[in-house]
Structure 1
Amino acid sequence: MARHPGRPELKAFGTFVELTNLVGALGFQQTVQTLSGHRLLCIDEFELDDPGDTVLVSTLLGKLVEAGVALAATSNTLPGKLGEGRFAAADFLREIQGLSAHFRTLRIDGEDYRHRGLPAAPAPHSDEAVTRAARHIPGASLDDFPALLDHLSRVHPSRYGAMCDGIQAVCLTGVGPIPDQSTALRLVVLADRLYDREVPVLASGVPFDQLFSEEMLNGGYRKKYFRAISRLTALARDAKGLADVASSGR
């Protein structure tokens, strides 16, 4: 990769969702201008879920490669298989093949490391236990789950990370099934931001593996939903003991 004389060797890391959210917040041209000054862009959880993202990301990464930006990405899908089972991927072969051409594939197989050899996540707690824990844990937040979902609908997903900064534990009461796909996708973004920051989640209500309907888990966004379940379950495991500590007064 050619280096630009005098250009700072900037590097950037973000998830695929954060990248698309950045375009939504800054606009396409400003995003290209901002990221073109970097030497390396690392993208986690790279996935194509709809035609809009396919065209957007294909064009964006093409512009960045032309500007000399090196790319690295992780994905649960091989580059040539991106978009399969989510939309009419055959209609976007040019874009998908163009994306694939930017990468050399290194395949790593194995089970989800977040749950390898670890005990099952604890069962949901009572509302009283979660509320008590929130009052005893410094820096903990306390939210009613439906109210949190409503709040997320009024905040741009690119700002979810800032919402999580400084929070030591998330306490949720009344966790229940997600009513619709738009709400579900917003929760996926929040789960990613909490997981990035290793914020434990203590909750009452239904277990996290019951958040998404069978239709959602069999649909085009299923990988996102299974990732959210996996990550929230890991964070619930990290929160094990917080309720006990609060009840003991320690």
Structure 2
Amino acid sequence: MFLASAGRRPDASDLIAEIIADAEASGFILEPAQAAAAARLCQLGESISVRRKGLLRRRTPRSVYLHGPVGRGKSWLMDSFYRQLPGRKRRIHFHDFFRQLHRGVHASAGRPEADGTAIQRSVDALLSGVDILCFDEFHVHDVGDGVFIAKLLRTAAQRRVPLVVTSNYPPDKLLPNPLWHDLFVPTIGVIKEMMDIMEIDGDTDFRRSPVTGSAAPRPSDSPGLEAFSRGKIITPGTPAQLGAFGLFPPAKSQERILTPTTQRLTVKAADDMLWVSFTELCGGLMSTADYLALAEDYGTWVIDGVPSPRLESAAGSAPAWQRFSNVVDVLCDQGITLFLVGHGPLDWDLAQDPAHRTSTQPVDLARIASRLSLLDRVEASTPFEEVEAGGS
């Protein structure tokens, strides 16, 4: 796009024209809520440009918080704005943010400084030399993550760096666990004070049905999504089903023990692909940092023994499902091809039906369902009940 390379100061009308053109070039038409959010982003872009020219030095442009259900085009809109905006900028995904924080802490291990100093230095590095930070897939489920987010917001305010944030949650629904939510309420207040909150709503999850007229990305628009969408959900996982995709259950001799960060993980194979059981991957103490480290080394994952989200089971505990949600997030964002294998039924859409909900299902069930809708299903021709009765 011409603005990013022309070297001139764009105004809001220039930026919005480029975003509209970007959408039309991909066969999309901005919906009303998306258009309103795009206009607000372009006002922010113009303010940043004016500020860079020496005006409004003492005033930080208000940040923007875009939220709404999964698949409504929030990330696409932010990324289009980011591409058009010239100057000093940085885009980061939620998981990458925490990976950088953990790397900074590990790098300082053994030094005579508190972890807080190392975290502050990592946050400073993230905000250094930029006029705007775009933060994708913002969510908070852990009280420790909430502390890091609070530090990021405070530092951004001190450095007068505005943020653009996308999230599936309105600010008041962040850190939804009632045991910890009150601890995050002050940070929610900071978010509301420094950001304009804009909802991108709509009745359609365009990640599932990316038709002309939507403003959401299709798998073909993103190399990462394209790689992720090559995966499959396979039930019940017979040798014939697996063999059709070149998947052959590893021999016991192929078992390996990996230590991606600090936790040991026993996997069934770790050669050209990572093959691991759901229980081993999600039932222990693995963290998002572990999943990110593994994603750097293995471009194809097979997770077998995946329990049904519709059925209560020992494997599918609430913490295990939350870790599984983190796995799916990481693999989708990092462009990893994922094969899920389980006896069945592996239907995350149906699991959202109140009639089928269980007490162990994760907070982000809709998010999992949306991302996994990109994967084709390979199912036995025999009905599930008959397969189960036959012991296949």
If the length of structure 1 is used for normalisation, what is the TM-score? Answer: 0.70
1:171 aligns with 2:302: yes
Superposed displacement of residue 98, structure 1: 0.6
Superposed displacement of residue 55, structure 1: 4.0
Distance 1:125 1:197, change over 3 A: farther
Q: What is the aligned-residue identity percentage?
A: 20
Please, which runs of 5 or more residues in structure 2 have no aligned partner? 1-47, 55-86, 106-118, 212-231, 249-270, 308-312, 380-392
1:12 aligns with 2:91: yes
Q: Counterpart of 2:197 in 1: which secondary structure?
A: coil
Please tell me the residue identity of whatever aligns with 2:208: H
1:214 aligns with 2:343: no
2:368 to 216, 228, 244: 228
**Separation in 1, partners of 2:147, 2:299:** 38
Superposed displacement of residue 30, structure 1: 2.4
Equivalent in the alignment of 1:26 = 104
CA contact 2:135–2:166 (8 Å) conserved in 1? yes
Distance 1:159 1:117, change over 3 A: same
1:71 aligns with 2:131: no
Please tell me the residue identity of whatever aligns with 1:185: Q
After TM superposition, list the pairs within 5 Å mapping 1:79-90 onto structure 2.
Answer: 79=171, 81-83=172-174, 85-87=176-178, 89=181
Distance 1:157 1:117, change over 3 A: closer
Equivalent in the alignment of 1:153 = 285
Q: Deviations over 1:14-65 (max 9, x none)?
A: 12x4434543443422222221214232222222335444343123211123
CA contact 1:131–1:142 (8 Å) conserved in 2? no
Distance 1:172 1:65, change over 3 A: same
Please tell me the residue identity of whatever aligns with 1:19: F
Stretch moving more, 61-70 or 172-181: 172-181
1:183 aligns with 2:320: yes
Superposed displacement of residue 109, structure 1: 0.9
After TM superposition, list the pairs within 5 Å mapping 1:41-60 onto structure 2.
Answer: 41-60=133-152
Please tell me the residue identity of whatever aligns with 2:281: L
Equivalent in the alignment of 1:35 = 126
Instruction: Give the CA RMSD over aligned residues.
Output: 3.8
Distance 1:91 1:125, change over 3 A: closer
Equivalent in the alignment of 1:197 = 334
Superposed displacement of residue 240, structure 1: 6.1
**Separation in 2, partners of 1:146, 1:91:** 31
Please, which runs of 5 or more residues in structure 1 have no aligned partner? 242-250
Please tell me the residue identity of whatever aligns with 1:164: A
CA contact 1:134–1:141 (8 Å) conserved in 2? no
Q: Deviations over 1:192-230 (max 9, x none)?
A: 12111343433321315269972233xxx51x2331232
Please tell me the residue identity of whatever aligns with 1:215: S
Please tell me the residue identity of whatever aligns with 2:373: T
Q: Counterpart of 2:141 in 1: which secondary structure?
A: coil
Q: Counterpart of 1:175 in 2: which secondary structure?
A: coil
**Separation in 2, partners of 1:64, 1:129:** 54
Equivalent in the alignment of 1:101 = 193
Distance 1:204 1:56, change over 3 A: closer
Distance 1:90 1:142, change over 3 A: closer
**Separation in 1, partners of 2:160, 2:193:** 15
Distance 1:199 1:240, change over 3 A: farther
Please tell me the residue identity of whatever aligns with 1:181: A
Q: Counterpart of 1:215 in 2: which secondary structure?
A: coil
Name the larger-Rg structure.
2
Distance 1:85 1:48, change over 3 A: same
If the length of structure 2 is used for normalisation, what is the TM-score? Answer: 0.48
Distance 1:117 1:98, change over 3 A: closer
**Separation in 1, partners of 2:168, 2:325:** 16
Equivalent in the alignment of 2:153 = 61
The structure that is helix-richer by fraction is 1
Superposed displacement of residue 96, structure 1: 1.0
Distance 1:199 1:228, change over 3 A: same
1:126 to 237, 252, 269: 237
**Separation in 2, partners of 1:174, 1:181:** 16
